[in-house]
Amino acid sequence: MLELASTWGSVHAGRLRDGLQGAWCVQYGLILIDDRLDAMQRRCVLAHEISHARHHDSGCMADRWVEQRADREASALLIDPLEFAFAEQLYEGNVVGMARELDVLPWVVEAYRERLRDDPSLIVQ
């Protein structure tokens, strides 16, 4: 994931304020990740920030559509379709159980579901 992120900027970890877990600073080409996050959280937040970097988004939490796009693109980076189908069967759609199985945060599972609702051709049977 770090190699992918380096395509659009450099990644630095540090203490972020105001409850932020990550941020994309377009003017410096910099992805910031809070260093208090565990490895799984860092991976999820980094995937989200990569989307902002790819699109050269400006501002923090620009609008809900930009954030939704970043979440969906992050879910595509983090979740394998076959593993998602398996986790959905195994946990009968329980988001928390699926997130644990897939080693992602629950919002990533929800964002992946939104992708499937928007494009049913992505569903693995």
Please say if the pLDDT value at position 125 is more than 70.
Answer: no
- 26-70 confidence digits (pLDDT tens): 999 999 999 999 999 999 999 999 999 999 988 666 688 999 999
CA distance 15 to 103: 24
The residue ranges of every structural domain in the chain are: 2-119
| Confidence (pLDDT) at 60 | 64
CA distance 62 to 55: 12
Contact, 96 vs 86, CB < 8 A? no
Q: Tell me 91's DSSP state.
A: T
CATH 2.30.30 applies to domain 2-119: no
